[in-house]
């Protein structure tokens, strides 16, 4: 006799994305802890140019972006090596974000140089089984950035955050490389509200395909 239902396999590689301040790393660590996965996180503090970029973007944008490009390349290579031994993981970035940030931060001349470097790089990144895209308006992002107290991030302007938010929206509008879960991170609290978090976990455990949403209905009260 066949079982009444078949167990749905969990996504083994989950990538969490979204603009600065939306809560990617916090959620990646929490999901990794829930499923006993290995967190695979960006290391922005290792970028020696980032501090100057926050204070003077025009002066340090190219150096900052190229450092991130090479750093993320190395992380992807490490991920591919580790995948031979660790087959479950949660990342707080996609490699595609590098070009996305470059298009927002670099001048046309700098972007031309960046593209020449990018063209000579072979990035064979593994495809996630699920991508979680956290969305929030710039006012929420700025509030959270202020709250977490990174002194260098306080120099980020609303104009920069808006351009970055728009770039993410355009990128994921037609994203089809992996199943996509779009989460309204403004109206739910995945860090502190257990009901909100359980809703996310239930959705992940269903191993969704295509494009899906977690977007609380507005109250009628």
List the chain domain ranges: 13-214
What per-residue confidence (pLDDT) applies to 79?
79
196 is catalytic: no
What per-residue confidence (pLDDT) applies to 80?
78
Non-local CB neighbours of 129 within 8 Å, separated by 6+ positions: 11, 12, 13, 14, 178, 179, 207
**Tokens standing for residue 37:** 């996965």
48-57, 122-131, 200-209: least confidently modelled range: 122-131
What per-residue confidence (pLDDT) applies to 49?
97
Q: What is the pTM of this model?
A: 0.91
What per-residue confidence (pLDDT) applies to 221?
35
Average pLDDT value for residue range 57-83: 89
Please determine, for residue 89, whether its predicted confidence score (pLDDT) is greater than 50.
yes
Q: Give all strands (DSSP E) within the chain, no chain letters.
A: 13-17, 38-40, 89-91, 130-135, 180-184, 211-214
Report which of residues 215 and 15 the model is more confident about.
Answer: 15
- Average per-residue pLDDT in the chain? 89
| List 78, 92, 129, 187, catalytic entry | 92
Quick check: 60 and 53 in contact, CB under 8 A?
Answer: yes
Residue count of the chain, please give it. Answer: 221
pLDDT tens track for 185-199: 998 889 889 999 999
In Å, how far are 184, 186, 193, 215, 218 from 221, measured between CA atoms? Answer: 20, 19, 20, 18, 9
| Topology of domain 13-214, CATH | Rossmann fold (3.40.50)
Quickly tell me which residue has 């996630």 as its tokens. Answer: 128
> Rounded distance, CA 87 to CA 65, Å?
29
């Amino acid at each position: 006799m066949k079982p009444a239902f078949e167990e749905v396999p969990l996504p083994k590689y989950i990538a969490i994305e979204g603009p600065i301040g939306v809560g990617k790393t916090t959620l990646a660590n929490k999901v990794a802890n829930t499923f006993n996965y290995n967190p695979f996180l960006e290391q922005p503090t290792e970028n020696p140019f980032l501090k100057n970029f926050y204070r003077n973007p025009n002066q340090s944008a190219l150096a900052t972006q190229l450092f991130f490009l090479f750093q993320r390349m190395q992380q992807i290579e490490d991920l591919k090596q580790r995948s031979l031994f660790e087959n479950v993981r949660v990342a707080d970035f996609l490699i595609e974000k590098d070009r996305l940030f470059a298009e927002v931060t670099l001048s046309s001349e700098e972007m031309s140089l960046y593209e020449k470097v990018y063209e000579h790089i072979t990035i064979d990144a593994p495809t996630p089984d699920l991508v979680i895209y956290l969305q929030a308006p710039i006012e929420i992002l700025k509030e959270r950035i202020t709250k977490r107290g990174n002194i260098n991030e306080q120099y980020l302007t609303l104009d920069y955050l808006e351009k970055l938010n728009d770039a993410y929206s355009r990128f994921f509008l037609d994203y089809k490389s992996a199943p996509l879960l779009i989460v309204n991170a403004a109206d739910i609290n995945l860090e502190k509200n257990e009901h909100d978090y359980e809703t996310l976990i239930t959705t992940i455990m269903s191993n969704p395909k295509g494009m899906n949403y977690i977007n609380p209905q507005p109250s009628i009260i």
